[in-house]
Amino acid sequence: MNKDRKIRLVLTGGHAATTALSVIEEIIRRSNLINWEIYWIGARSAIEGKKIPTLESTVFPKIGVVSYPITAGKLQRKFTLWTIPSALKIPVGFFHALILLLRIKPDIILSFGGFAALPVVIVGFFLGIPVCIHEQTAGSGLANRISSPFAKKILLARYESQVRFSPNKTLVVGNPIMTQIAEIEPKEKPGNPPYLFIAGGSRGSQAMNNLIKEILPKLLRRFNIIHHTGYLDYQKCLEFKSHLSSSLKKKYEVYKVIDPLKIDDVYRIADIVIARAGANTVSEVIAVKRPAILIPLNDEQRQNARLAQIFGVATILEQDEIDAEGLHAAILKLSENWYDIVDGVKNKQVYDKEASRKVIDILEKMLK
């Protein structure tokens, strides 16, 4: 491909910061061969009805990616106060996508799913722009299923997703993970005291936070804790920390959000991970080979969590069946079995480490 030709790539998605970052890393590695210009079109807010910035909007501008928020609605699975206002924004999203794509004039679109991406994919198709979709989950997101007829290629993270899409379009490539995470080695032994990394996903989890707060003092007597709370519970957790004894305060770090460019620092010191089971979190837990407790939010996350369970690194707890004391017992059991878990997975191959390269290889072929 001609180095002098500028390739305009639009990345789009609902919440795919780390996946997109992994792909951007691979593009940067090839910048001496192809002149890429990268844009991101994503959700305006991290949570419907809340003025909370998305991770993508705060991180991507730092690495030279031009970021545009889109006013896009979604079909919510549960009826809430925001269901009707969100649905009314759907046609607005298509008009907004048209304006942005006519302004950018991209050569190709790579979508990571989510309803912020849906209008970009469909409008892009009718503008004659080649569209590639990446499905990160072990199942399939609703937005990706709706988008799939408008895509030339559908890239899958997991073989389990193949039954949901046209076999003529699909390729299994894995789920892109960032280089700094892929390079983390299994630990030889836990810290003294061990580190717990508690993460509710890119938006945070109030249900998980509530469970943790009930047992936090007991946990802090045995562990150091890094707690990614999300925006909604950050102040509450800070206030809770302020009432702890001075010795326990030193062992408890609270973050509303963790920069994905620095998340490898957390994984390097973490001994045990307690998290939701989003596709990217599961990929990272498998890659760093840290014993984990995964608490799925829904069936899609449950399918993701099973991959980590089969790999041998994770215990799955159901949110509707677990209470704070049950979670505490599960953490202690995982800590006791730490060496057995790590020894069992330390020599296993991680398929996702080559995913970013495979994605960009396919995009380059689509551009020829």
The average pLDDT across 324-345 equals 97
Can you give the pLDDT at residue 255?
Answer: 94
Tens digit of each residue's pLDDT (9 = 90 or more) over 56-90: 888 888 888 999 999 876 655 566 655 666 667 77
DSSP lists the bridge partners of residue 227 as 198, 254
Give 201's DSSP letter. Answer: -
The average pLDDT across 33-56 equals 79
Helix ranges restricted to H, the chain: 17-29, 55-59, 83-88, 90-104, 118-126, 142-147, 179-182, 206-220, 234-242, 246-249, 263-269, 279-288, 299-311, 324-336, 338-345, 355-367
Can you give the pLDDT at residue 81?
Answer: 58
Can you give the pLDDT at residue 53?
Answer: 73
CA neighbor of 93 nearest in space, from 141, 41, 17: 41
Tens digit of each residue's pLDDT (9 = 90 or more) over 103-142: 999 999 999 998 899 999 999 999 999 999 999 998 888 8
- Give the chain's domains with CATH numbers: 6-177+352-367 (3.40.50.2000), 187-345 (3.40.50.2000)
The average pLDDT across 292-297 equals 96
Give the separation between CA 74 and CA 61, rounded to whole angstroms.
Answer: 25
Can you give the pLDDT at residue 2?
Answer: 58
Tens digit of each residue's pLDDT (9 = 90 or more) over 167-215: 999 999 999 999 999 999 999 999 999 999 999 765 678 899 999 999 9
Tens digit of each residue's pLDDT (9 = 90 or more) over 299-309: 999 999 999 99
Q: How much is the pTM?
A: 0.90
Phi, psi of 105 (to 5 degrees): 55, 60
Write out the two tokens for 355: 């995913």
Amino acid at 230: G
Give the separation between CA 260 and CA 5, rounded to whole angstroms.
Answer: 31
How far, CA to CA in Å, does 88 sit from each of 72, 75, 98?
Answer: 9, 10, 17
Kindly tell me if the per-residue pLDDT of 238 is higher than 80: yes
Tens digit of each residue's pLDDT (9 = 90 or more) over 249-289: 999 999 998 988 899 999 999 999 999 999 999 999 999 99
Residue 24 has, within 13 A of its CA and on its CB side, a CA count of 24
Give the separation between CA 108 and CA 10, rounded to whole angstroms.
Answer: 6
Mean pLDDT taken over the chain = 91
Answer whether the bond into residue 53 is a cis peptide, omega within 30°.
no
Give the separation between CA 36 and CA 33, rounded to whole angstroms.
Answer: 9
